[in-house]
Amino acid sequence: MIEGLREPDGGNIVIDGQAVWPKPEATKRLIGVQLQSTALFDYLTVREMIILFGTFYGLRLSNSDADQLLDTVGLTEKHKAKVNELSGGQQQRLSIALSLVNDPMIIFLDEPTTGLDPQARRRMWDVIRDISSQGKTVVLTTHYMEEAEVLCGRVAVMDKGKIISLDTPLNLVKSLGAKAKITFNCEPKLDIDTLKGLPGTTDVSEIEQSYIVYSKDVQNSVLGILGEAKENNSLVENLSVSGANLEDVFLHLTGRGLRD
Amino acid sequence: MISYLSMVSANFKMTVRNRQSLFWLFVFPILMMTLLGIVFGGISNQGASIAVVSKEKSQVADSIYKSFKEIDSFTVEKQSEGRALKELKNGDLDAVIVMKKGFASELEQNSREFNQGEISGSEPSPPKPAKIELFFDPSSTFTSQAVRGAVTNVIAEINKKMSNTPDLIAVESQSVRSADLRYIDFLVPGIIALTLMNSALFGLGGTVVNYRERGILRRLKVTPQPLSGFIAAQITNQLVFSILRAALLIIVAQALFGVAVLGDYISLIIVVIVGSLTFITIAFSIASFSRTRETNDTLSNIVSMPMMFLGGVFFPVDSAPAWIQPLIRIMPLKYLGDAMRDVMIKGEGLTNSNVMFDMYILLGVTLVFFLISIRLWKWE
């Protein structure tokens, strides 16, 4: 709706003082968009793509303008490659370069790292940080919580089309009230309510064979879990303690289990 | 405007760099035309043999015989009726022209009556024509068509001679052409019409559905560039390639088979553009129904296959059975093929009433499908 693709049935969207609807053409000039599916014209070179997209904004970009954009996304040496010769990560970066042709105030990135290998993903993070440091607002949609934690100044958690929480990553993690999470499996199983009653425990969840115990007092929680296990003749395995992160916030807020 | 022009040039680059699309756009039609031309191109009335049967000796019968004899590509002989018809059945003859007993005297009397009517100043009644019988074997379509054309022209010529109308030269040139009609001459305009249909349905329609399927149209929609400009650029490219391809086919046909274009090139280009537009609007209508490229290709096949075989591309359909004629009559490709042939083979221009009729039909179809595609079109 902000991008001008679908008309909202209620409410207002304002970008830089201009209402997006009913005529989204004006605000389309202020924003850059990278869509989730990055299909582009095959058989055009990377540089030709940039220049072509420039003309959609009434711009006549020179080769050096195009190369400058390609530099931002690290595709300089690929300027003569055809779009269909690029790897998935390179296509994603080209797609981001295309969203920058009109020097937008706001850029929307829809899951830019989905399907990329870890190396390509790090590369993408650098690109996004770079854009952000140019003073542009980056709106990033992602399923990867560590990505949001590393890149974002503010995180909105959406569930079923509603924003259920909006804050900095740090504050969101703090809101969990837990310092750490303790993960383990055990056989036979322990009573989940007993675990919830252990000292320092803020929340417990059971996902498949594992228990996740959120705690603000790690030492006492671990001792409590082990004591409980011993009493029930249960064997505890794969016990790990880690700091709570954004993923835990997401799971906590949306009620367990990542939904697509 | 810059975006439209750069879209046009981008489309051009994409097509030229895509070997597969180049093959279907240019190489395949040329191959098809060349192969069909080599295999069937020789079939013509070249060497068509006809017999002239006259039941009695007369000056008129002699002059008719001589007129046929003058046509280089015909072998003409005098025969008795019985034998001639037998040879026609055996396939030794392609056509038999029979003048009944009393033909000459009937002709003479009719013309005398007509002339007297004129002289006496009484109500001039149209002259009664004397009848010539023409037997031919309809299974050899090309020969019989050519023979029929030639006979009609020869008779027209004789008619004019007898009534002293002066424009003999025009008639003569027509008769020579019609006598020279070879399969390849018939085929080339048909192939051009066919490529206009197929490149629109499978090329343009397929591409646009593919762009929609892959989210490219959606990506264009988030830019301020209106998508109508994008569509306009696609249509422009389609038209340019259609004209280029028609030109290429004609050049190759000229070089390999000596096919000539008798009509003017402006008329030809306009027929190509109108025909192309017709199938572009049909393509967009089909694309409106198609979520995927596969659906688009299937629907396009359903639409194009009957037209390809019954639309008069590879063989004339005027002599097809009566029950199938209504189906043929609703095929836009038939009208396009007719118009192309009228211009290329018969040397007609846009002002010719047949060509004009075909053009009106095609423009009407274009309008209908334009409205359908506007109504049903989906961007996403």
* Full set of structural domains in chain B with CATH: 2-41+182-376 (no CATH), 48-180 (3.40.190)
What pLDDT sits at residue A178?
67
Average pLDDT rounded to a whole number, residues B221-239: 86
Average pLDDT rounded to a whole number, residues A39-44: 80
What pLDDT sits at residue B120?
61
Q: Is residue A7 part of a domain?
A: no
A218 touches chain B (CB under 8 A): no
What pLDDT sits at residue A164?
76
Q: Is residue A257 part of a domain?
A: no
What pLDDT sits at residue B358?
92
What pLDDT sits at residue B155?
75
Collapsed DSSP state (helix, strand, coil) of residue B173: helix
Q: For residue B271, is pLDDT > 90?
A: yes
Q: For residue B165, is pLDDT > 70?
A: no
Q: How far is B224 from chain A (nearest CA, A)?
A: 5
Render pLDDT for A167-199 as a digit per residue (tens, 0 to 9).
777 777 777 766 778 888 887 777 777 777 777
Q: For residue B373, is pLDDT > 50?
A: yes
Instruction: Answer whether B18 sits within 8 Å of A56, measured CB to CB.
Output: no
Domain closes at, from A141, A163, A189 = A141
Average pLDDT rounded to a whole number, residues A21-31: 78
Q: Which residues pair with A155 in a beta bridge?
A: A167
Instruction: Kindly state the DSSP code that residue B44 receives in the 8-state scheme.
Output: B
What pLDDT sits at residue A208?
72
Q: Which of B14, B216, B220 sits opposite A43 (nearest CB)?
A: B14
Do A98 and A203 fall into the same domain? no
A163 touches chain B (CB under 8 A): no
Instruction: Answer whether B224 sits within 8 Å of A44, measured CB to CB.
Output: no
B1 touches chain A (CB under 8 A): no
Count how many domains chain A has: 2
Q: Which of A3, A43, A58 sits opposite B2 (nearest CB)?
A: A58
Cβ neighbors of B45 (< 8 A, separation 6 or more) are B73, B74, B94, B142, B143, B146, B147, B150, B179, B180, B181
Average pLDDT rounded to a whole number, residues B322-344: 89
Which of 38-77 (A) contact B at CB < 8 A?
39-44, 48, 51-53, 55-58, 60
Do A42 and A137 fall into the same domain? yes
Residue for token pair 């803020």 = A202
What pLDDT sits at residue B51?
83
CB B332 within 8 A of CB B307: yes
Domain of A98, CATH number, reads 3.40.50.300
* DSSP annotation string for chain A: -TTSSS--SSS--EETTEE-SS-THHHHTTEEEE-SS----TTSBHHHHHHHHHHHTT----HHHHHHHHHHTT-GGGTTSBGGGS-HHHHHHHHHHHHTTT--SEEEEESTTTT--HHHHHHHHHHHHHHHHTT-EEEEE-S-HHHHHHH-SSEEEEETTEEEEEE-HHHHHHHT--SEEEEEEEESPPPHHHHHTSTTEEEEEEETTEEEEEES-HHHHHHHHHHHHHHTTPEEEEEEEEE--HHHHHHHHHTSS---
Containing structural domain, residue A108: 14-141
Percent of chain B with pLDDT over 70: 84
Do A117 and A22 fall into the same domain? yes
Percent of chain A with pLDDT over 90: 0
Q: Of A94, A96, A60, A92, whose CA–CA distance to A80 is shortest?
A: A94
The amino acid occupying position B24 is: W
A35 touches chain B (CB under 8 A): yes
Whether the full predicted model's pTM is greater than 0.80, yes or no, is no
Name chain A contacts of B10, Cβ cutoff 8 Å: 41, 44, 48, 52
Q: Is residue A22 part of a domain?
A: yes
Instruction: Answer whether B222 sits within 8 Å of A3, measured CB to CB.
Output: yes
